[in-house]
A and B are shown apart, each in its own frame.
Chain A
Amino acid sequence: MPQPSHLHAERRGTAWVLRIDVDRIVDDATTDGLRTELALFIAQADPPNVAVDLGAVRMVSSAGLAFFQHLHRAVSARHGHVAVCRLEPNLRDLFRMVGLDLVFPIFEDSEAAVAAFG
């Protein structure tokens, strides 16, 4: 699978670990770039069970929420599941504040997230 510049995918059994190498997802340009890369990844990810590693992400603004909406829709459309892991405390607060934890289960690390897919 081709490796996009800000998303790095790694196959783990029946799931994928998708690492996001972006410090801040706070503007439309970053969000749109990630969405484009995500579309390429999702088109080839089979099965579409994805553990998103957010360890490198320090900040997500309201503009960045669009990326997670896209992620949710793209994976759901392929009957897959998404979990997130390695969230910094600020990001964990944000996920709970915005309700993203309702659709993206939060795990400490990628191993736990992948295990949750069963």
Chain B
Amino acid sequence: MTRPATPKPSGPAGLAVAAQVGLVYFVCGTMGMSLAVPPAQSTPLFPAAGLAVAAVLRHGTPAVAGVWLGQAVMQIVRHGLLEGRPTPALLACWSMLSFGAALQAVVAVALLSRHDARGPHAAEGGRLFTLLFLCGMIACTVSATIGVGTLAAAGFVDIGAVPRAWWEWYCGDTLGVFIFAPLIVLLLDRPEATAGRDILPVLVRMGVLTLLIMAVFLVVRRLEAAGIAARLRDDLSSAVAFLALVVTGILADRDLAAHAARARETLALVEKERLHRDLVIARDIQQGLLPKQQPRLAGFDIAGWNQPADETGGDYYDFVPLDDGRLAIAIADVTGHGIGAALVVAEVRALFRAEIARAALDDAVEQVHALLAPDLPNSRLVTACFAVVCPQRGGLAFVSTGHGPILFRSEATGAVRLLAPQGLPLGFDPDRRYAPAVELPMAPGDAFLVLTDGFLEWADRRGTAFGLARITAVFQDHGRMPAREIIGKLREAVSTFAAGTPQTDDLTAIVVRRMPRA
């Protein structure tokens, strides 16, 4: 026996129906969304879609309003309360998603009524299922299309992810309609059918279709997960990192959003580790470019020292023995730190070595400047002091390209004086030329000191820099010591002054001291 179609409520009764449908839709929808996957948060089984069709079939317009309301509340509770105050764009999205859900139920019911003039309430179980199957398959394109289209238009779903998101949304709604719409209709309108043979064809067909669609859904999702894993695996050079990725469960866990977040964190750690490794390699290369031993030059005591602040610094020093028995010296400070500064350091070193081997000091410096300046990016400058120590003449010549401090200590008077540069830092003004090299005769015991500005700037806890006056005082007091010990005294003095504050800039020093008379 079939029951006549339920009268459609109106007025206060209609409002009550809308509220009830909205509440049940919200509960069913929230349960279904617990299986949701990104990017569109679509779910493999959405019972609320079936409920919506059954409710609109039974109650008409008030149920349509209830579906809209239930979907809207579900979106607000699911996203709005978690993510703070909703934006107008988000409100528009939620509204469209609710519209899609309600329209889908209306379309499904319209199709059902068109295919069975007696109304679906009158159909026997198998026929009811077939009707819902055919009409559900068509109608469920509505919510998926409106929902995914809206999310894509609002930028919540990438265009490339639209087909998969649409398919997952469609599967979830279709399954919801297949499983729940016939059951609800039978339970509410013909409870006696659920106890008899009438229900069997419905259950069998529902079971087969559910398994089929779930299988397709899971295969697609597994392929997607495997694709993500493969892409990440390709990106990760470290096997350890990949193992960590697997451990995080990207292949096994069902929450892809959580996986993506964990994978991103893992990837960031791997990138950080890779960057650190690159910096360590760069530091090793850079340290390998520094002199391995102090130079030996008749009548002179010469020492150099460098301590970078980071993995790779912007300072370097070099000793280059020349064919005629002289010794070329270079010390430079490239602005900045890291790999960029290290690359410039390597270029300066190579250029100076090449030029000083074939040209006089003045010309070599001009050539270094001419070749280097076009290569320097904006904001990258090089202060340098290039010198040639000549044992035959008992002195040295130097050119400072904006480098300091450069100090000279006279053994005879004990006085220390600051030597001026011959021009601006390399790269500061490509059109400027440098003043001729300064000839600096050295009497026995005289000492020449060049430092980088790391010594000047290293500050104590109050922020007071070590400064030129303290450097001058240390050099004045200890300038009679061997070259290596003078540098040691400067290191000790600046370190004691800093009193544990971190070294923020590279420290580099060269001392050239003419051997005192025995």
Contacts and interface: CB of A to CB of B under 8 A. Distances in A.
Interface string B93-119: 000000000000000000000000000
A32 B418 CA distance: 31
B158 interface: no
Interface in A25-75: 26, 28, 31-32, 35, 58-59, 61-63, 65-66, 69-70, 72-73
B424 interface: yes
Contacts of B429: 69, 72-73, 103
B101 to A, nearest CB: 49
Interface band, chain B: 35 or more
A31 B381 CA distance: 13
A99 interface: yes
Interface band, chain A: 20 to 34
Nearest to B421: A99
Nearest to B504: A26
Contacts of B287: none
A98 B505 CA distance: 17
B424 A98 contact: yes
A65 B452 CA distance: 14
Please indicate which of the listed interface residues B336, B401, B406 has the most CB atoms of chain A within 10 Å of its own CB. Answer: B336
Contact of B379 (A28, A59, A98, A103): A28
Contact of B468 (A28, A72, A90, A103): A90
A1 interface: no
A93 interface: yes
Main SS class of interface, B:
loop
Contacts of A102: 423-424
Contacts of A93: 418, 468
A61 to B, nearest CB: 5
A65 B425 contact: yes
A32 B402 contact: no
A69 B379 contact: yes
Main SS class of interface, A:
helix
Given A26-B504, A28-B379, A63 B336 contact: yes
B423 A66 contact: no
B467 interface: yes
B405 interface: yes
Contacts of A103: 424, 429
A15 B466 CA distance: 36
Interface string A74-91: 000000000000000010
A69 B401 CA distance: 14
Given A98-B425, A99-B402, A69 B381 contact: yes
A96 B420 contact: yes
B318 interface: no
Contacts, number: 88
Contact of B381 (A26, A62, A97): A62
A61 B336 contact: no
A49 B116 CA distance: 89
A20 interface: no
Nearest to B465: A59
A15 B97 CA distance: 62
Nearest to B424: A99
Given A90-B465, A90-B467, A99-B402, A62 B379 contact: no
B377 to A, nearest CB: 10
Contact of B428 (A35, A58, A69): A69
Please indicate which of the listed interface residues B380, B381, B403, B463 has the most CB atoms of chain A within 10 Å of its own CB. Answer: B381
Contacts of A63: 335-336
B453 A61 contact: yes
Contacts of A22: none
A100 interface: yes
Contacts of B456: 94
B333 interface: yes
Given A93-B468, A97-B405, A65 B457 contact: no
A72 B428 contact: yes
Please indicate which of the listed interface residues A65, A66, A93, A94 has the most CB atoms of chain B within 10 Å of its own CB. Answer: A65
Nearest to B418: A97
B343 to A, nearest CB: 16
Given A31-B379, A90-B465, A90-B467, A61 B424 contact: no
B468 A65 contact: no
A59 to B, nearest CB: 6
Given A61-B505, A99-B422, 13 more contacts: A26-B505, A28-B379, A62-B381, A62-B383, A62-B453, A65-B381, A65-B428, A66-B335, A69-B429, A97-B406, A99-B400, A99-B424, A103-B429
Q: Across the A-B interface, give the 3 residue pairs with the lowest CB-CB distance, nearest first.
A: A97-B404, A66-B379, A99-B421
